[in-house]
Amino acid sequence: MPELPEVETARRRAENALAGKRIQRAAAAADGLIFDRAPPSEVEHALTGRTVVGSGRKGKYFWLLLDQPPHPVFHFGMSGRLHLYRNGTPPPKYWKLEIEASDGTIVVFTDMRRLGRIRLAADPENEPPVSLLGFDPLISLPSAAEIQRLLAVRRGPIKAVLLDQSFSAGVGNWVADEVLYQAGLSPLRPANQLSRPEVRRLRTALKNIAEQSVALDADATRFPIHWLFNYRWDRRIGRGPRGEPLVRQRIGGRTTAWAPSRQK
């Protein structure tokens, strides 16, 4: 599932391709799952003729800002992707929305599993579901003291709390595992029992993972060799970056990879 780094990278690509340009054509697929609030025809009408003036993102949601509302809001779900190409190229398989700018640039949203969403909002950041999200580690990371205050009322395992979008928006399974590995914290620890030094380590890891992965355009082939990400998927090896044994178990409803010898 695309998480904060992948969605932020997609937002930047979309803004770079479309900002300052007029949308001369918008085509929406007849898919009532993807367009679950405004029908495809309404989305097409709302976008056609408008000029893209910028974009925004919080957590796993991003949106294009037009010269007048409503604005299109995107959520990738499990398999949503963004594609860029020029006029004359047929749309890719599983396309859901095709936006063509006046200069022939085309941005397409695809979703093979149809778990993503495309909606319209007058004020995306201040309307549900975006307004219900917690802090975003890249753009609104609280102080360690504030994070500890937020954790004080959370009794569940810290892994499950990190996955809760009302706590930390944009953090998904691989980011949560990476943060806890880098912070040296067991995913099973009750969130409200972390000490102040442990919360500071957690905050540092959240900041570093978010910033570094985005700086690398969410390109996993460029992630640092000491990241758990490079080892968490391969069950045959079963060892982490430092050679420590890895354990895989379900925590917070998601498969978790962690190193008990390192994470306490």
Q: Long-range contacts for 88-92 (Cβ within 8 Å, ≥24 apart)? A: 91/27
* pLDDT confidence of residue 108: 97
Query: Tens of pLDDT along 213-240?
Result: 999 999 999 999 999 999 988 777 789 9
Is the pLDDT at 260 greater than 90, yes or no? yes
**CA-CA distance, 186 to 201, in Å (whole number)?**
12
What are the tokens at 8?
Answer: 């932020």
40 catalytic? Reply is no
Report the range of poorest mean pLDDT among 128-137, 159-168, 177-186, 224-233: 224-233
* pLDDT confidence of residue 238: 87
Cα dihedral 25→29→33→39 (10° resolution): 50
pLDDT > 90 fraction of the chain, expressed in percent and rounded: 94
pLDDT > 70 fraction of the chain, expressed in percent and rounded: 100
**CA-CA distance, 191 to 261, in Å (whole number)?**
20
Catalytic annotation, pick one of 6, 15, 60, 187: 60
8 A C-beta contact, residue 52 and residue 65: yes
* pLDDT confidence of residue 1: 79
**CA-CA distance, 82 to 11, in Å (whole number)?**
9
Contacts of 192 (CB under 8 A, 6+ apart): 151, 152, 153, 154, 155
**CA-CA distance, 87 to 122, in Å (whole number)?**
29
**CA-CA distance, 31 to 201, in Å (whole number)?**
44
Query: Tens of pLDDT along 26-61?
Result: 999 999 999 999 999 999 999 999 999 999 999 999
**CA-CA distance, 106 to 75, in Å (whole number)?**
19
**Confidence class of residue 87 from pLDDT cuts 50, 70 and 90?**
confident
Mean pLDDT of the region 10-24: 98
Is the pLDDT at 90 greater than 90, yes or no? no
**Confidence class of residue 201 from pLDDT cuts 50, 70 and 90?**
very high
CA distances to 107, 115, 180 from 8, in Å: 15, 19, 21
2 catalytic? Reply is yes
**CA-CA distance, 238 to 247, in Å (whole number)?**
8
**CA-CA distance, 170 to 4, in Å (whole number)?**
4
Is the pLDDT at 178 greater than 80, yes or no? yes
Average pLDDT, the chain: 96
Catalytic annotation, pick one of 2, 129, 187, 241: 2
3 catalytic? Reply is yes
Catalytic annotation, pick one of 3, 44, 98, 198: 3
Cα separation of the two ends of the chain: 27
Is the pLDDT at 241 greater than 90, yes or no? yes
